[in-house]
């Protein structure tokens, strides 16, 4: 299989200088599987600092950005700024952005388009709520979220990773079972094959996110259509290294 496993850490709004030094020490001193691509998503105020201290085999992501390069957008950061401080990635469309900050598909698509045009790589997140899962509309919800991104991505699929993150699994300790996750990942790939191209479907990497731990990573990683993880809580702990190393 040609899809390189990719593990992302999403620190969310966590970390201070002391904790960052600790986390980066782990990532520097412990051996990391060279067959796994590693990206850590940092609160914007620390992106430049983290970039200046992480080892070369760990890429840095912002967790959000605005849809324009500069201007009168108090409080926002832009994709060119993220690039300017040496980070290569941005996480967009996370369910916390969608739900807490009311970001809708069209805004997320505009952000994705702008980030890609600015030369960043994008981890684009999709996922259903518990209510949607219980109504049996998981695939419908997730493919609608992806459909909104298709024109924004254009010919840039090689710079995009999708993260399937069921909202009910995020921060809850309730991980999707490998069967549940694999089923949705396979459905996403099949939708992409029909609606974008078989090439994109085959090559796009789809991460699973939602209460990933060192204890469940190996089993999830063994699923045919799971190509990595987006890890929240556990990415702040030494366990993150175990997750990276349990994938192959
Ligand atoms: P979690 O978060 O691993 O803490 O569930 C995952 C995410 O929100 O990306």
Burial of 167 (0-12, 13-18, 19+ CB in 10 A): buried
Tens digits of per-residue pLDDT, 103-147? 999 999 999 999 999 999 999 999 999 999 999 999 999 999 999
d(CA 165, CA 178): 13
* The token pair that represents 126 in the structure block: 């999709």
37, 96, 128, 165: the catalytic one is 165
- Give the model's confidence band at 1: pLDDT under 50 very low, under 70 low, under 90 confident, else very high: low
3-class SS of residue 233: helix
How far away, in angstroms, is 158 Cα from ligand 1 center? 24
Give 202's contacts (C-beta < 8 A, 6+ positions apart): 189, 193
Tens digits of per-residue pLDDT, 185-196? 999 999 999 999
Q: Mean of the pLDDT values across residues 66-93?
A: 98
Has 165 been annotated as catalytic? yes
- pTM of the shown model: 0.98
CA 178 to the chain's CA centroid: 18
3-class SS of residue 51: helix
CA-nearest of 170, 171, 185 to 220 is: 185
d(CA 162, CA 205): 6
Tens digits of per-residue pLDDT, 156-195? 999 999 999 999 999 999 999 999 999 999 999 999 999 9
Task: Say what percent of the chain tops pLDDT 90.
Answer: 98
| Mean predicted lDDT score pLDDT of the chain | 97
Q: Mean of the pLDDT values across residues 2-8?
A: 95
How far away, in angstroms, is 102 Cα from ligand 1 center? 19
Sole residue written with tokens 């904790």: 19
Has 219 been annotated as catalytic? no
Where are the chain's structural domains? 6-244
How far away, in angstroms, is 65 Cα from ligand 1 center? 19
Q: pLDDT at residue 21 above 80?
A: yes
Sole residue written with tokens 């809850």: 172
Pick the CATH number of 6-244 from 3.30.465.10, 3.30.300.10, 3.40.228.10, 3.20.20.70: 3.20.20.70
């Amino acid at each position: 299989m040609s899809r390189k496993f990719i593990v992302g850490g999403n620190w969310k709004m966590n970390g201070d200088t002391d904790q960052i030094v600790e986390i980066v020490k782990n990532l520097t001193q412990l051996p990391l599987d060279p067959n796994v691509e590693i990206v850590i998503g940092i609160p914007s105020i620390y992106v430049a600092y983290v970039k200046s201290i992480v080892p070369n085999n760990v890429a840095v992501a912002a967790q959000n950005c605005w849809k324009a390069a500069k201007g009168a957008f108090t409080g926002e950061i832009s994709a060119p700024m993220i690039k300017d401080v040496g980070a290569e990635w941005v996480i967009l469309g996370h369910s916390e952005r969608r739900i807490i900050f009311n970001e809708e598909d069209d805004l997320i698509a505009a952000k994705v388009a702008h980030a890609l045009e600015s030369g960043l790589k994008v981890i684009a997140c999709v996922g259903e709520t518990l209510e949607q899962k219980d109504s049996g509309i998981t695939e419908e919800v997730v493919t609608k979220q992806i459909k909104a991104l298709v024109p924004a991505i254009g010919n840039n699929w090689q710079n995009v990773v999708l993260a399937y993150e069921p909202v009910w699994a995020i921060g809850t300790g309730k991980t999707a079972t490998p069967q549940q996750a694999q089923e949705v990942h396979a459905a996403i790939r099949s939708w992409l094959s029909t609606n974008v191209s078989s090439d994109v479907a085959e090559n796009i990497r789809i991460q699973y996110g939602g209460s990933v731990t060192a204890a469940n990573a190996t089993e999830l990683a063994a699923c045919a259509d799971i190509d990595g993880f987006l890890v929240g809580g556990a990415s702040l702990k030494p366990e993150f290294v175990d997750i990276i190393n349990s994938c192959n």
